Amino acid sequence: MCGLAGYISKKMFDHSDVLIKMGQAIAHRGPDDVGIWFDKSTGIALCHRRLSIIDLSPAGHQPMLSHNNNFVVAFNGEIYNYELLRQEINNEEGEIQWNGHSDTEVILAGIECWGIEKTLQKLTGMFAIAIWSKDTNELVLARDRIGEKPLYYGWHNNVFLFGSELKAIMKHPQFNGSIDKNALASFFKYNYVPGPLSIYKDIFKLEPGSYLSVNLEDQEPKIKKYWDLYNYTNPGSFKGDSLDATKELDLLLKDAVGKQMIADVPLGAFLSGGVDSSTIVALMQSQSQSAVKTFTIGFDNKGFDEAVYAKKIANHLQTDHTELYVQPKDTLDVIPKLSKIYDEPFSDSSQIPTYLVAQLAKSKVTVSLSGDAGDEIFGGYNRYIVASQTWSKLSKIPMSVRNLISNSIQTIGSDNINALYKYFKFAIPKNYQFSNFGEKMFKSAKLLESDSEIDLYNGFISHWDPSEIIKNYYDHTQYKFKDVSKIDFIEQMMALDTLTYLPDDILVKVDRAAMANSLETRVPFLDHSIIEFAWSLPREMKITNGIGKNILREVLYKYVPKDLIERPKMGFAIPLDSWLRNELREWAEDLLSDESLNKHGLLNNEIIALRWKEHLGGGKNWQHHIWDVLMFQCWFNEYHG
């Protein structure tokens, strides 16, 4: 796990000085080593920061030259099948004289042997790669299939800039950052900036499963997909029953987890006590000769605390378990770091416990496995079922009636709905009980006005209507379903979440929080063999009787008793609504003041003031909307204040 940065330019710079500064900006991604390489004659310059995980020797130093001296690479990530590829190359090319045993050297040898695209298709792992070809004077940037590792790029003042994080690109003297209002609108809608946009004009995220080629003569980047999820969305193509599928998934997961446990440094795992992380930890422990180190964050507020469940799982699996209970003060200590960690506005509030659990893990290990992506791949989000059931009924109700119901729910308010829910909860089947029911109902009110399935989906995943909050608002990103006739509404949501919400929210959150602590995270569910297998299954094997991740649960029950797992889904959340009204109130009010908002003049002060007043009053819970504004304010003050 590392960080990279660089540029191509006809202009002359003090390359050493510029590269060192770009590298220092992402030193947290690679505190163990720094390397630079440049060629003045062609204008290419590469910087690499290394977090040593495999082959801790100098033989793993980057940027690294290929054996034929033609290719130079800066690589961020881990290739889990590199030993198999190494043997394959030896078989095809004859026994090669390897310099070390790093996966970086295998990537270079693969490119020599098979070329760029075929090599990328053979890689199993997470990666962002910058490859310079001396023969063609061409730069290739590549990103893993789902986007575990970040990679930004763009032309600024005739210099092509690229890097693992925006903060590295910002250090180049030709960078001239101007806020992209379209990206800003999308941020307030989705609570993150969706790819390929970045918060800055003319700087983009390379989309997952893609590679880009560019040179100084032909400056238009050429982007090509080497892997596309929709090529594998073939539900029902698996030939076998549910027992066969469970056995196959168990084997695939064991293999993926086993490969991702290889490291020359201490390794552990995040454990929330939910289905996903418990499955990963169970499979780790089944393949480990010693107790796996596991880490959990807890809260004194029982409505948000899963630590007690995680501890029961850890006790059953006999892991070496560490837990930390988070107080509001811990949150206050993290908040000033968030804008530096995330580079661009980002307001998934679980960024705070994610940072804290990464910090906790780093105190004992250098690599931690994570249970992320189980919900998207195996249908775990409640909204999939709710949205599908909602649309089947909603489409039959006249819009005038829907508007009346919507207005009534919004008038009652989320806190009052929560009170009613608690009173009548005993009469609600367990499968349909949810935490934060009032907030979910309040958000659902506006969904009643949806006029299509995709409109409903966008409503489920949206916070602000950008036209409410951004002055002189214009177009913004609106997610669209791909026209794939063989997958239904629920599967469309799952696929789109895998391609948008997962890489641009979940994986960004985990990558930046972990890397800020110089901790490598690995996500076994994102092994492409697991993704492709999951999409071969009929939906009924993943979602059964309104409950998602059915097949994953069946795998987990082989290792953990069912009664330790089954409970309402909670999510990795914090009691943000309460904290904003109390411990965080003074900090928030300063950032939400007219004086603070007028520094940029981009937002509608009046609607923000109204939402804040309603939130403080307790009748309505605007925690997510307020947090969006607060995170933008923190980001703006950090980089443009």
Q: What are the Cα distances from residue 127, in Å, to 94, 145, 377?
A: 27, 9, 20
In angstroms, the CA 559 to CA 292 distance is 15
* Contact status, residue 323 vs residue 307, Cβ threshold 8 Å: yes
**Average per-residue pLDDT in the chain?**
91
> What is residue 412's predicted lDDT score, i.e. its pLDDT?
73
DSSP secondary-structure letter at 327? -
DSSP-assigned letters across all residues of 79-148: ETTHHHHHHHHHHHH-S---SS--HHHHHHHHHHHH-HHHHHHH--EEEEEEEEETTTTEEEEEE-SS-S
Reply yes or no: is the peptide bond before residue 31 cis, omega within 30 of 0.
no
For 197-255, the pLDDT digits (tens) are: 999 999 999 999 999 999 988 889 999 999 999 999 999 899 999 999 999 999 999 99
Give the pTM. 0.92
Candidate from 9-18, 190-199, 631-640 with smallest mean pLDDT: 9-18
Report the interhelical angle of 275-286 vs 242-260 (nearest 10°).
70
Of 470, 465, 460, 466, give the one whose Cα is nearest residue 439.
460
Name the CATH architecture for the domain at 2-227.
4-Layer Sandwich (3.60)
Give Cβ neighbours of residue 103 (< 8 Å, ≥ 6 apart).
54, 75, 78, 79, 82, 125
The stretch 603-608 carries a mean pLDDT of 96
| CATH assignment, 231-379+493-564 | 3.40.50.620
User: Taking the alpha carbons of 381, 501, 248, 283 in that order, is the dihedral positive or negative?
Assistant: negative
| CA end-to-end distance (rounded Å), the chain | 32
> What is residue 103's predicted lDDT score, i.e. its pLDDT?
94
Quick check: 447 pLDDT over 60? yes
Sequence spans of domains, the chain: 2-227, 231-379+493-564, 576-639
Reported as type and span, the H/E element at residue 469 is helix 466-469
Candidate from 383-392, 429-438, 500-509 with smallest mean pLDDT: 429-438
Give Cβ neighbours of residue 60 (< 8 Å, ≥ 6 apart).
50, 52, 54, 100, 102, 104, 105
Q: Which pair of tokens denotes residue 98?
A: 């390897």
In angstroms, the CA 24 to CA 6 distance is 12
> What is residue 438's predicted lDDT score, i.e. its pLDDT?
60
> What is residue 371's predicted lDDT score, i.e. its pLDDT?
97
In angstroms, the CA 364 to CA 266 distance is 7
Of 218, 211, 185, give the one whose Cα is nearest residue 199.
185
Coil, strand or helix: which one is 564?
Answer: helix
Instruction: Tokens 């796996």: give the residue.
Output: 292
Phi and psi torsions of 237, nearest 5°:
-75, -20
Q: What are the Cα distances from residue 162, in Å, to 32, 46, 195?
A: 22, 9, 15
